[in-house]
Amino acid sequence: MSSEIEVVEEIQPAKQSGGVVAANGNGNGVGINGVVGVVADDDESLRNDVYTAAAYGDLEKLQRLVESEGCSVSEPDGLGYYALQWAALNNRTAAAQYIIEHGGDIHAVDHTGQTALHWSAVRGAIQVAELLLQEGARIDAADIYGYQTTHVAAQYGQTAFLYHIVSKWNADPDVPDNDGRSPLHWAAYKGFADCIRLLLFLDAYRGRQDKEGCTPLHWAAIRGNLEACTVLVQAGKKEDLMVVENTGLTPAQLASDKNHRQVAFFLGNARRLLEKRCDGNSRLGRLSKLGLAPILWCTIFLMLTTYIHAVIMASNLPKLTAGFGLLAWLGVFLASAGLVLFYRCSSKDPGYIRMNVHDPQNMKDDEPLLKIEINNPALLAGNWSQLCATCKIVRPLRAKHCSTCDRCVEQFDHHCPWVSNCVGKKNKWDFFLFLVLEVSAMMITGGVAITRIVTDPFAPSSFIQWLEYAGTHHVGAISFLIVDFFLFFGVAVLTVVQASQISRNITTNEMANIMRYSYLRGPSGRFRNPYDHGCRRNCTDFLINGYNEDLQASEESAHSEGIGMVQMPRDSHLQNGDLHTHTNGNGHAAINVNSNDTNAHHGHVHSSHCSHGNHNKSKSEGVPLGLGLGLGHGHGRSRSVVT
């Protein structure tokens, strides 16, 4: 299988003048994402062509060139690219509009069959894409490799762009290219976890195999993308881990072959866990769903029985006084009330969020895969982690998908195996009160048991003899005390932790993921809980309502997804063909080439079939075919990005 795509360079004579070309930071012509502007020929020619004006969005210059000097915007440049493509690449909406109004063809294709719409997907130029589509651009236009706009967006991790064209323009998020690879294959290969979440949310087929038999999980494993593998496994089934490609290898075996040990361990462990999981519809599966709850129930019931018979009603202990007897039976009452709340917590809906389940067979051909609300605040803000690929929902910020229950739970705290249920928004009050009642019951019953044993009038005065006497005459009471002692400390610690979290309006899950959840960090990067109303109000809300209210997290501007551009140098600093590089703010190098230099670098890309021997390549090496907007088979080319 083609596990790695090699990029090699050729040096060809530069026959075009005024060309705007690009390469990546390694000198490979691999496309636009993190590209490098190369100034070929003299600055004067660069500043006075419609392609550069379109790339910079210089509308005044564009108007002068077209209206005064008679330049055409419908002809390609020396490399075969159109002015409209350059405007689309850099999200120059006004320039694109002007070009269209003055004869620019929105359907014009370069030598790889790509249109301006393909180029707009590289950097997530949503505004230009919207203009092109409104003017009649074909959303399903494919280049010579079968790449549609959704493929290009997935190759460059432009999740917001992908979301826009699928939700508003009904682009196909699961269309295969000529090699049978869907956008999900490309997103998995490149390790764009947010793109993967969105594509799975849009019902992209996880099990699709390309011409080499590889699923998206295979490609994620080949590249060692742990987060991509995690998202795919969580949304998938155990069968996904057992699929073999054409050489007979599973994703875990491919990861191991490529020396991605962490990924191989994760996939192998996931397969073992899923194989051990019982079918939920079988008898054994239904029993396994009960978890440890029956054991805890029996333990509490057995302790209560022992306490009543061996402590309260023991025949070898003196009768209880009225006041002390009331205290002793209070412990029984509290423990019994705790059992009721235990049952409620175990059987109650913890805050499951309704799944968006639909039947693809009952959908019309022209109906979107999902009727996504285009104005969904979470998705417009770029909070792709709120997408649940399993439940097919945009979940609330504090919700989480429980892998055990296989459901999203609102205000997810944790999954408690002892109650065999999640603890969430709707049952946390029951859970906390259960803990408080049981801790109180254990304190009272333990104190009563100790008092009863110590005050036995027939016990000897010597400590050693007293221990022997208690061990022979009060076996039940001593056994109860030992179990009660160990259980008390465990439950008491859990109760204190829960009380502390309730007072701060934070969940166990949030405490465990403070460094991962961006909404728990302030502008300075330090921990900040936007839901903390203060101890008094937090506790009052919880005790009265049964849950804490969620404050609106402070709105932060959505992160730009690649709309910015790399500045094209305007001054030549090179003499005698020397090469000078400098690094821009994005860590990419800008290169100036002297106009007298007759050689220009052109990226030439070819695919190599995997011998599973290139597993030590870094991610900067081995670029998938076509990642430079159709880079491929025998075509040396590269492009620039400017701001």
Give the active site residues. Answer: 416
Q: What is the DSSP string of 152-177?
A: HHHHTT-HHHHHHHHHHH---TT---
Would the CA dihedral through 317, 319, 322, 328 be positive or negative?
positive
What does each C-alpha distance from 544 to 310, 537, 548, 549 come to in angstroms? 39, 10, 9, 11
Please give the Cα distance from 372 to 394 (Å, whole number): 10
Q: Report whether 431 contacts 423 (CB < 8 A).
A: yes
Beta bridge partners of 39: 20, 592
Which bin fits 402, alpha (ψ -120 to 50), beta or left (φ > 0)?
beta
Taking each helix axis as running N to C, give the angle between helix 216-223 and helix 183-190, from 0 to 180 degrees, rounded to the nearest 10: 20
**Cα Dmax for the chain:** 118
Please give the Cα distance from 524 to 527 (Å, whole number): 9
Q: Report whether 314 contacts 331 (CB < 8 A).
A: no
Q: Report whether 415 contacts 424 (CB < 8 A).
A: no
Cβ atoms < 10 Å from Cβ of 332: 17
Q: Report whether 319 contacts 303 (CB < 8 A).
A: no
Q: What is the DSSP string of 287-322?
A: HHHTTTHHHHHHHHHHHHHHHIIIIIS-TTSPPPPH
Please give the Cα distance from 28 to 568 (Å, whole number): 18
Please give the Cα distance from 504 to 528 (Å, whole number): 11
User: How far from the centroid of its chain's Cα atoms is residue 582's Cα?
Assistant: 34
The DSSP secondary-structure symbol of 26 reads T
Contacts of 108 (CB under 8 A, 6+ apart): 74, 76, 82, 84, 85, 115, 116
User: How far from the centroid of its chain's Cα atoms is residue 559's Cα?
Assistant: 16
Q: Report whether 590 contacts 566 (CB < 8 A).
A: yes
Contacts of 307 (CB under 8 A, 6+ apart): 331, 332, 445, 449, 480
Q: What is the DSSP string of 70-120?
A: ---SSS--TTS--HHHHHHHTT-HHHHHHHHHTT--TT---TTS--HHHHH
166 token code pair: 């699928």
